[in-house]
């Protein structure tokens, strides 16, 4: 079967609704034909990844400006990933001037198209939250994995520019995870840990699953207790980074996986893998590319920290000061930071030596200028991208261990 367009879609392709919609339709038709879609389907929201000069480069900025110049407007709510530099004070973050100029050009272009400037990779916390079964077109691998896995909404991993086209038209090709038959489990993961997982074990499990699964759909059976959404955020982000996981079925958590049988549906498991406590410890050891105990920077908030996570750091720090030789940075969106400010804990954390990096992230903002050699984090995604994007060796641990290292100036055994 080949792609069939409706009369309205053909009219857009013929240019009857203007240059921008014609352009967007031409792109979507090419993507749909290339992926074997039979039709385009309505989507209710988009989340963009053309967000940071560090990943967009000149070509991405110019492309966004050209699309804006055509008079493009988003037709569905469209949010966007983190800003490419500290949104409150890029100069204090040592952002090169030329970089800032290009970031601001990119910002102006997407604003002209009508983006909702949330500048966060966790738009599902309060800005853009799809419901179960809803079709959306999101980029940002961690958010894609979260909405498929935790909310049961449906999206493929969209890419930059294609996501803009989806936003302009309010449509996406009906392929991959939009189709129920492609959402069934493929690999059974038996988790042999007879207690609720510790906070660091969620990203460690995600990291291990990403490497194991690639883009296959894993069914994780045996997660005890009731993970909070922040745990699931860490798990999904790590799996989506170390592999290209876009959907996990966590039995008892994922809406489509109330039972093991429901997670597999008509599928038979192609592989069964057992994971126990020692496997998670081994994975943790692999995540530590730095073998010493010294730390230059502790970076938390990948994906962006929620207000709950900021409160947790405040509690763990318990009035102590950050070591003068360590930078301790928290990345969060403007809403979480505003809430921390309102609660008075932003000031207390800053007085203790913590820096809030607003609306941006350690991976997609320029931080090589700081000359950090060793970064410690509680994020599996940050561990994956840190060496490549920040030029640092990585240390991984739970949030409490990160806080202790920040206070002591080194990893506390």
Q: Note whether 257 and 148 are within 8 A (CB).
A: no
| Residue 50 or 191 having the CB closest to ligand F3S | 50
| Residue 142 or 252 having the CB closest to ligand F3S | 142
In sign, the C-alpha dihedral spanning 307, 312, 317, 318 is: positive
| Residue 251 or 300 having the CB closest to ligand F3S | 300
| Residue 3 or 241 having the CB closest to ligand F3S | 241
Q: Which helix (H) or strand (E) covers residue 250, if one does? A: strand 248-250
Query: Contacts with ligand F3S in 45-84 (CB under 6 A)?
Result: 81-82
| Residue 304 or 314 having the CB closest to ligand F3S | 304
Query: Contacts with ligand F3S in 217-236 (CB under 6 A)?
Result: none
Min separation Cβ 267 and ligand F3S, Å: 29
Cα(396)–Cα(379) distance, integer angstroms: 7
By the rule CB under 6 A, 237 interacts with ligand F3S: yes
Q: Which helix (H) or strand (E) covers residue 202, if one does? A: helix 201-213
By the rule CB under 6 A, 202 interacts with ligand F3S: no
| Residue 185 or 243 having the CB closest to ligand F3S | 243
Q: Which residues of 40-60 are buried (b: 16+ CB within 10 A; e: fewer)?
A: bbebebbbbbbbbbbebeeeb
Query: Contacts with ligand F3S in 319-358 (CB under 6 A)?
Result: 331
Of 16-24, 244-252, 359-367, 401-409, the segment contacting ligand F3S by CB under 6 A is: 359-367
Query: Contacts with ligand F3S in 370-389 (CB under 6 A)?
Result: 381, 385
Q: Which tokens belong to 240? A: 């989506």
Min separation Cβ 122 and ligand F3S, Å: 7
> What mask, x for binding ligand F3S by CB under 6 A, covers residues 132 to 151?
----------x---------
By the rule CB under 6 A, 204 interacts with ligand F3S: no
Q: Note whether 383 and 210 are within 8 A (CB).
A: no
Cα(384)–Cα(253) distance, integer angstroms: 25
| Residue 81 or 256 having the CB closest to ligand F3S | 81
Strand partners, 300: 330
Of 28-36, 69-77, 153-161, 360-368, the segment contacting ligand F3S by CB under 6 A is: 360-368
Min separation Cβ 333 and ligand F3S, Å: 10
CA distances from 210 to 61, 179, 308 (A): 31, 22, 26
Q: How are strands ordered across the β-sheet holding 297-305?
A: 354-358, 327-332, 297-305, 374-377, 393-396
Q: Which helix (H) or strand (E) covers residue 103, if one does? A: helix 97-113
> What mask, x for binding ligand F3S by CB under 6 A, covers residues 144 to 183?
----------------------------------------
Cα(287)–Cα(56) distance, integer angstroms: 28
| Residue 40 or 399 having the CB closest to ligand F3S | 399
Query: Contacts with ligand F3S in 267-326 (CB under 6 A)?
Result: 302-304
Contacts of 62 (CB under 8 A, 6+ apart): none
Min separation Cβ 80 and ligand F3S, Å: 11
By the rule CB under 6 A, 405 interacts with ligand F3S: no
> What mask, x for binding ligand F3S by CB under 6 A, covers residues 92 to 121?
-----------------------------x
CA distances from 409 to 295, 329, 399 (A): 6, 14, 15
By the rule CB under 6 A, 361 interacts with ligand F3S: yes
Contacts of 391 (CB under 8 A, 6+ apart): 368, 372
Size of the site for ligand F3S (CB under 6 A): 14
Q: Note whether 47 and 128 are within 8 A (CB).
A: yes
Answer for which of 363, 374, 402, 407 binds ligand F3S (CB under 6 A) is 363
By the rule CB under 6 A, 364 interacts with ligand F3S: yes
φ, ψ of residue 239 in degrees (nearest 5): -65, -35
Using CB atoms within 10 Å of the CB of residue 413, give its burial: 0 to 12 exposed, 13 to 18 middle, 19+ buried. exposed
Min separation Cβ 380 and ligand F3S, Å: 10
- Binding residues (CB under 6 A) for ligand F3S: these are 81-82, 121, 142, 237, 302-304, 331, 361, 363-364, 381, 385
């Amino acid at each position: 079967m080949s792609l069939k367009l409706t009369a309205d879609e053909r009219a857009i392709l013929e240019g009857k609704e203007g240059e921008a919609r014609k352009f967007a339709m031409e792109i979507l038709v090419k993507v749909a034909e290339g992926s074997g879609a039979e039709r385009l389907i309505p989507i209710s929201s988009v989340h963009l990844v053309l967000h940071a000069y560090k990943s967009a480069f000149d070509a991405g900025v110019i492309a966004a400006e050209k699309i804006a110049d055509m008079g493009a407007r988003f037709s569905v709510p469209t949010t966007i990933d983190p800003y490419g530099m500290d949104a409150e004070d890029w100069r204090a973050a040592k952002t090169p001037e030329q970089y800032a100029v290009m970031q601001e050009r990119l910002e102006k272009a997407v604003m002209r198209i009508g983006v909702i400037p949330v500048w966060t990779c966790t738009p599902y916390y309060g800005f853009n939250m799809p419901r179960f079964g809803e079709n959306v077109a999101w980029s940002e691998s961690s958010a894609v994995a979260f909405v498929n896995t935790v909310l049961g909404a449906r999206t493929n991993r969209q890419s930059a520019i294609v996501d803009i086209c989806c936003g302009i038209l309010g449509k996406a090709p009906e392929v991959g995870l939009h189709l129920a038959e492609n959402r069934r489990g493929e690999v059974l993961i038996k988790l042999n840990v007879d207690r609720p997982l510790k906070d660091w074990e969620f990203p460690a499990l995600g990291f291990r699953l990403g490497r194991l699964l690639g883009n296959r759909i894993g069914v994780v059976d045996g997660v005890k207790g009731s993970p909070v959404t922040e745990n699931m955020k860490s798990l999904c982000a790590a799996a989506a980074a170390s592999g290209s996981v876009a959907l996990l079925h966590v039995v008892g958590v994922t809406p489509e996986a109330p039972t093991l049988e429901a997670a597999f549906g008509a599928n038979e498991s192609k592989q069964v893998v057992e994971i126990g406590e020692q496997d998670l410890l081994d994975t943790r050891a692999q995540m530590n590319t730095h073998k010493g105990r010294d730390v230059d920077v502790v970076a938390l908030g990948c994906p962006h920290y929620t207000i709950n996570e900021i409160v947790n750091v405040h509690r763990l720090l318990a009035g102590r000061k950050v070591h003068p030789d360590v930078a301790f940075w928290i990345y969060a969106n403007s809403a979480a930071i505003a809430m921390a400010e309102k609660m008075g804990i932003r000031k207390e954390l800053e007085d203790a030596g913590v820096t809030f990096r607003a609306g941006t992230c350690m991976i997609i903002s320029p931080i090589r200028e700081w000359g950090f050699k060793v970064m410690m984090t509680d994020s599996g995604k940050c561990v994956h991208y840190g060496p490549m994007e920040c030029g640092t060796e990585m240390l991984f641990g739970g949030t409490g261990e990160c806080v202790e290292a920040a206070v002591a100036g080194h990893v506390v055994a």
